[in-house]
Amino acid sequence: MAALTKEQLRDKAFEALDHKVRILDAGLRIGEGVVEAAGGGVTTKEGGSFRHGKKQGMFQPGVIDANVRAGQGGGGRVPGHTDGGKGKPGSQADGGTKPGSQAAGHLGSAEPELKGPIPGLDDKLPSMFHIPLGYWMFLRPNPKSDYALEYENGTFYVTKDGNEIWRDITFEARPKFYDGFTSDGKAFLDIGMILTDKCVEVWYSNECAFKERGEDCMFCDINNRGGDIFLKQPHHIAELVKAAFDEGVADRLDFTGGVIAERREIEYYSDSIEAIQDALGRTGLNASACIAAPRDFENIVRLKEAGFSNITINKEIWDENFFNTVCPGKARTVGHKRWIEALEFAAKTFGFGHVRCNFVTGIEPKFKTLEGVEYLAGVGVYGNTNIFGPRPGTPFEGVRSPTPEWNLDMAIKAADIQIRAGLTYALVKNCHPEVHQPIFDVYRIREELLPIFGGGA
């Protein structure tokens, strides 16, 4: 068979990406063969373990669990003031998962009734898998999905309406340090975990100070998750990062979490990066800090001087009126105009492509978010578009995410705007711990970085 042209490969990649965003939306039915394999302790080739994650507090990394049911995780991520509620908690599995980050997990699903865990499989399925074409995929179970993960004769594959679409599925290996503890007995998995592309993400806290006035961002459920709430000490973080680096499963780090009371973020970050540098015995780390826009911009300079290479200041919503309504804490304490000025200042301080601003997409009109992406790209800020995944217990509970078509169009438009502005994949991937999101897939198609193009990204 003749080799495919670049154009045909690109079409094939976009066709697969279309399936991916639909799976993010609808989840996957778990085939009987997979259930038997997981229940029977099948070991995957990649990691020697079919158990990628286990429940740990609110993060529950890697677990197919109840968080997926509300569409929290389709691929989304972490909560915190960082990511817009995307979602992590819940697990990586949830794709949207973690807590605390502003972005918390917003790769959302239109299936609010998704139920997990699967009887007998809780804690046995890996959180993420790969398709040969080069995409990372979250494993979110939904018995009603048209898509299914199947297992037969030693091979995992994905079907749509019973027809195979991807074969030779591989899984993320479960890092060994996930079973470790800090010197004072805190489970590493309560502090952080590996997201994608060798990035260890640290959740410095799993609550947000905006709750004191009832000013949480409306999409974010960081303060609704319960669990063991504690602000991690710098030595906790340093020990976790060292374990991940020593194991060779991480070479960069990203911090995220809720707004710290009294805005002590800068002091906390400085102490933490210093402890990490001491533990690793070096400076010059690829490290990203996520903060709320500070009133004193000199704090941005202090973070750079402390040793961070990237910074994240999530506005979440571009339009001023939507921002004021949806992010009341951010609007009151900093405000629309000043938040943008902070991003501009950060870009001048950290440099072109070293600043990220997450957007939760699907709350305001698409053209508004794209207006923000375009403006920020012009000053060298990467605008990351996280799919809105309505979370239980938030004012958006019961609302559904945008359609897969809408989400894919957003990812393509946002990526193309930023590529035109000179924000390359090499730059922006260092600003974000989760390069499994569709916007990064578009980047890797445009820059021909997927394995099918001969690339390795």
- Distance from C-alpha of 156 to C-alpha of 313, rounded to nearest angstrom: 39
The stretch near ligand SF4 (CB under 6 A) out of 9-17, 65-73, 123-131, 210-218 is 210-218
CA dihedral of 23, 90, 444, 11, whole degrees rounded to 10: 0
Residues 6+ apart with CB under 8 A from 185: none
Site for ligand SF4 (CB under 6 A): which residue of 169, 189, 208, 370?
A: 208
Binding track over 246-265 against ligand SF4, x by CB under 6 A: ------------xx------
The minimum distance between CB 273 and ligand SF4, in angstroms, equals 20
The minimum distance between CB 209 and ligand SF4, in angstroms, equals 8
Q: Considering the complex, state which of residue 250 and residue 342 has its C-beta at the smaller distance from ligand SF4.
A: 342
Our finding on whether 111 is near ligand SF4 (CB under 6 A) is no
Site for ligand SF4 (CB under 6 A): which residue of 21, 222, 340, 449?
A: 222
User: Which contiguous run of DSSP H or E holds residue 244?
Assistant: helix 234-247
Our finding on whether 108 is near ligand SF4 (CB under 6 A) is no
- Report the chain's C-alpha Rg in angstroms: 20
Nearest to 60, CA basis, from 45, 72, 44, 48: 72
- Distance from C-alpha of 450 to C-alpha of 457, rounded to nearest angstrom: 6
Q: Considering the complex, state which of residue 59 and residue 245 has its C-beta at the smaller distance from ligand SF4.
A: 59
Residue 22 near residue 404 (C-beta atoms within 8 A):
yes
Structure tokens at 261: 């009371």
Q: Considering the complex, state which of residue 102 and residue 401 has its C-beta at the smaller distance from ligand SF4.
A: 102
Our finding on whether 217 is near ligand SF4 (CB under 6 A) is yes
User: Which contiguous run of DSSP H or E holds residue 322?
Assistant: helix 320-326
Q: Considering the complex, state which of residue 189 and residue 334 has its C-beta at the smaller distance from ligand SF4.
A: 334
Our finding on whether 102 is near ligand SF4 (CB under 6 A) is yes
The minimum distance between CB 312 and ligand SF4, in angstroms, equals 11
Site for ligand SF4 (CB under 6 A): which residue of 201, 216, 265, 434?
A: 216
- Distance from C-alpha of 182 to C-alpha of 431, rounded to nearest angstrom: 27
Sheet holding 170-171, edge to edge: 136-138, 128-130, 170-171
Contacts with ligand SF4: how many residues (CB under 6 A)? 16
Residue 386 near residue 77 (C-beta atoms within 8 A):
yes
- Pairing, β 252-256 against β 287-290: parallel
Nearest to 258, CA basis, from 287, 231, 298: 231
Distances (CA, A) of 341 to 294, 313, 344, 345, 347: 10, 11, 5, 6, 10
Our finding on whether 114 is near ligand SF4 (CB under 6 A) is no
List, as one string, the DSSP characters of 420-441.
HTT--HHHHGGG-S-TTSHHHH
Q: Considering the complex, state which of residue 106 and residue 124 has its C-beta at the smaller distance from ligand SF4.
A: 106
3-state helix, strand, coil in the chain (%, to 5): 35, 15, 45
Site for ligand SF4 (CB under 6 A): which residue of 138, 171, 203, 210?
A: 210
The minimum distance between CB 430 and ligand SF4, in angstroms, equals 21
The stretch near ligand SF4 (CB under 6 A) out of 215-223, 266-274, 293-301, 363-371 is 215-223
Binding track over 58-87 against ligand SF4, x by CB under 6 A: ---------------------xxx--xx--
The minimum distance between CB 180 and ligand SF4, in angstroms, equals 27
The minimum distance between CB 146 and ligand SF4, in angstroms, equals 32
Q: Considering the complex, state which of residue 81 and residue 413 has its C-beta at the smaller distance from ligand SF4.
A: 81
Residues pairing with 87 in the sheet:
78
- Distance from C-alpha of 437 to C-alpha of 135, rounded to nearest angstrom: 9
Residues 6+ apart with CB under 8 A from 395: 218
Q: Fill in the amino acid letter for 333.
A: T
Q: Considering the complex, state which of residue 27 and residue 87 has its C-beta at the smaller distance from ligand SF4.
A: 87
The minimum distance between CB 247 and ligand SF4, in angstroms, equals 29
Our finding on whether 396 is near ligand SF4 (CB under 6 A) is no
The minimum distance between CB 122 and ligand SF4, in angstroms, equals 27
Using CB under 6 A as the criterion, which residues of the chain lie in contact with ligand SF4 when the complex forms?
A: 79-81, 84-85, 100, 102, 208, 210, 216-217, 220, 222, 258-259, 329
